[in-house]
Every structure is written in structure tokens, then in C-alpha cells.
Amino acid sequence: MATSISAGDNFSADTSKHRFNTFYILGISFISALGGYLFGFDFAVISGALPFLQKQFSLDAYWEGFATGSLALGAIIGCLIAGSVSDKYGRKPGLLLSAAIFAISSLAMAFSPSRDFFIASRFCAGIGVGMASMLSPMYIAEISPAHLRGRMVAINQLTIVIGILITNLVNYGLRNNGADAWRWMFGLGFIPSALFFFGAMVLPESPRWLIRERQGTKAKKILNKIGDGNFAASSFHEIEKSLKGVVKTKFSDVFGQAVLPAVLVGIGLAVFQQLCGINTVFNYAPKIFESIGASQDDQLLQTVFIGGVNLVFTIFAMVLVDRLGRKPLMLIGAAGLAICYIAVVGMLCAHSANVSWFLLAAIGIYSLSLAPVTWVLISEIFPNKVRGEAIAVAVVSLWAAYFILVFTFPLLFEKLQDKSFYIYAAVCAIGFLFVLFKVKETKGKTLEELEKIMVKK
């Protein structure tokens, strides 16, 4: 049943009120965001499995970093595949393909007979992660009305953190199941992968993609399901106008003079989200807590606490992102993380168990700010005609930065120990200045309105 929502300042001047089918919007957003859940699964499962994998495959610091980072290398390929598939065949086929890759790679990792086979399987899992990390937020942004878009895209981040929390709980529950417990940790990913695949089959195609492909009749039907007739008509007109004169885009168009400023901002945001350093806590929590003498049980229990804090603060972010705005949350995140990291160094130097409080505070700040808001901004700031290619460039940059972070952390931690976090504090200080001077607020504007702001004419 449609509910009446006053849009106020969230719509163009000629539109004051529309009716939206919020249940329909929520439903298709949650289905698409199942890709985020699997992202969270593959991202988090390595943390609980690493102590077992180290023994199973005799991993040193180099191979520990490479086994963890191989996901990111696959994700880079996945982003490139997703950009091509989503622009040629549509957003929906891309989501289906990523779900299939998730399912197959989960079983391959579970039955890995050797280190190299495992790393190759995790690389393949990364292809699915890369596709989902690009397509899920892009799809949600393209089907959501402006006043709901921030919260709807943040659903993708919510499912990521739910995936992280559930995976951490499962890992903790399997910790005493023998030397092969890690195989169950990875193999159980097949279940949500199958759910994602069958859910994606019922999704409608993105109306923006349909209009670009001159399938206006189908696009109008979907827009009429999302909102009332006035909303469908005005949205169709705005999308069509933004695509006027566009015949076919090339990848090189992403780096054209008009689009380049927005692309550079997107790349900067993506790289900052990773090099800020928080994913060292997500992926290497057992290693960090081992350095202060925690037992393996306590190490894995800390990952559960991390997942819980991550979930709670992501929910807060969903409430604030369309109220407080994108830029203020990003600034809070950058400054807060820098302060927390300096405190973490002090606690690790003292071998104090209180380090867990500062690490949890850092997780909370990140979950409230950089984690969801970066994905929201990346899904918003690019023009319709090159959105797929531009998001691919930004997300490839994100995964490249993630690989650098997780590959280098074991080596840095081995050399610098606790002082590693000074590096991430410095990155956060630089990121604060970047957001302050280069990022524009996008709250409450349609994608077509943002195009006029972000694209240099």
C-alpha cells in the first residue's frame, strides 16, 4: 500500500508532494542489498579463519597478507566486469552473475586442498564481491526517490555489517570444531549466496538504464510502481533530459574534462575509506589482540563485539545520513578516527586490555561515517551517462587501496608493532582536509540535480 510522504525541499521547485510505495522500494532495496551481506561475509570470514589457515598452510606474514588481500585483487576484476555487464545488459544480470560467483567460490574455498588453491578461490570470491560492491549501491540509488536515497543506499551498508556480525558469530561458534573448522566457515556462505541469486531474479531493471537503452515503456511501469503518476512523469522527464544527446559512452569519457572533477572526488573518497586503516581491525583483530596476550577464544570473541558495535552504529548512520548530511558525517569520522588511533598506540604500548575500548570506539565512528557515507556519495556524484563506468573506477580504486592496506599490515605490524596506527592517524588527518575542501553536500537532491552541480560545463 502506498503511503503519502511530504518531500518538502527534497524535490525540485515544481514538485511539492508525491505518493510513494515505500514497501516496494524497501523490498527491492533489501533484495539488492543481499549482495552487501555476501560482501560482509567474505570480508569477515577470513578474520576467524586465519588462525586455522596459518596452521593448515603454514602462512608467514607475507602469505597471511596475500591470502587476505587476494579478495581485493579479485574485486578489482569484478568491478571492471560489473561495469561492462551492467552497462551492456543491465544492472539485474550483473547482480545475478555476482550471486552465482559467490555461491561457487564459497564451496571452492571450503574444499581447498592447498594454499594456492585457496588463494585462487578467494580471488574468485573477490570477483563476486567487487561486482556486488559496485552494483548493489548503484542499483539502489537509481531506483530510490531523492529524499529516501541516502537511507536506501545505506541499507547496503547495513547488510554488509549484518553479514560481518553473523559471520563473526558463526566463526566463534565453530572455533572448537577441530582443525577443519575453517572449511565450515567458508562453506556456509553458499546458503546466503543462493538466497541472493533467487531474490535477484524478481528484481525490476533500473529505470535509468532502461531509459538510456530506449526502453521507455518498461521504465514508466517501474517508476509508477515506485511512486504516483506525477512522480513517474517528472522523473522520466528529468532522466531523459539528462541523457539527451548521449548515443554511446566510452570508458575514456569518464576522464573527460567535464566529468573528471567528480571522478577525482570519487577516487579520493574511495581510497580514503580504505587507507584510513579501520579494516586492519576487522581483518586482523585476532592478531592485534594476540599481541597483548589474549587467548584464541578471547581473540574471536572480540570480533563478535566488533561486529555488534558495527551494526548498532550503522543503524544510527541510516537515520542521520539524510538528516545531518553526508559531509558533516565524513568530517566527524576522519577526526574521530585520528584521535582513536593515537589512543590505541598508547594502549598497545602499555599492553593494556583497555585497547579494546578504543578499537570499538574507532569501529563505531567508522560505521557512523566513512563506511556508509562513502558508498552513498559514490553512488550519487556521477552523471547518468557515465555512472556505471565512473562508479567502476571509484570502486576499483577502493579495492586497490584495500589490498595495499591488508597486504602491508602484517608486515608493518611485524616491524613497527603498535606504532603502525600512527600511519593511519596521519591518513585520517589528510582525509579530513580533503573532505573539508573538495566534497560537496548531496543531501536531498535528485541525481539529475547533482549532475548539474558536479559536472563542469
Model confidence, pTM: 0.77
Residues in the chain, total: 457
Question: For the segment 82-133, what is each residue's pLDDT rounded down to a tens digit?
Answer: 878 888 899 999 999 999 999 999 999 999 999 999 999 999 999 999 898 8
Q: Among candidates 117, 129, 103, 118, which has minimal Cα distance to 44?
A: 129
* Reported confidence tier of residue 5, pLDDT bands at 50, 70, 90: very low
Q: What is the dihedral of CA 53, 179, 177, 301, to 10 degrees?
A: -40
**Is the model's pLDDT at 10 over the cut of 60?**
no
pLDDT above 50: residue 14: no
**pLDDT tens for residues 294-317?**
777 887 888 889 989 999 998 888
Residue 53 pLDDT level (bands cut at 50, 70, 90)? very high
pLDDT at 220: 87
In this prediction, residue 258 has a pLDDT band, given cuts at 50, 70 and 90, of confident
Of 353-367, 409-423, 438-452, give the range with the top mean pLDDT: 353-367
Could you give the CA distance from residue 61 to residue 70 in angstroms, rounded to a whole number? 14
Average per-residue pLDDT for the chain = 85
Per-residue pLDDT band for 389 (boundaries 50, 70, 90) equals confident
| pLDDT in the model for residue 13 | 32
Nearest to 409 by CA among 307, 312, 286: 286
> Residue 6: what pLDDT?
27
pLDDT at site 456? 57
Band (pLDDT 50/70/90 cuts) for residue 388 is confident
The pLDDT of 123-144, averaged and rounded, is: 88
User: First-to-last CA distance in the chain?
Assistant: 42
Q: Which domain holds residue 283?
A: 3-454
The total number of structural domains that make up the chain:
1
Q: What pLDDT, on the 0 to 100 scale, is given for residue 161?
A: 85
For 332-342, what is the mean pLDDT? 96
CA distance 338 to 341: 5
Spatial separation of the C-alpha atoms in residues 160 and 5, rounded to whole Å: 28
Sequence-distant (6+) residues with CB within 8 A of 336 are 361, 362, 365, 369
User: Residues near 11 by Cβ (< 8 Å), separated by ≥ 6?
Assistant: 18, 146, 147, 446
CATH at residue 365: 1.20.1250.20
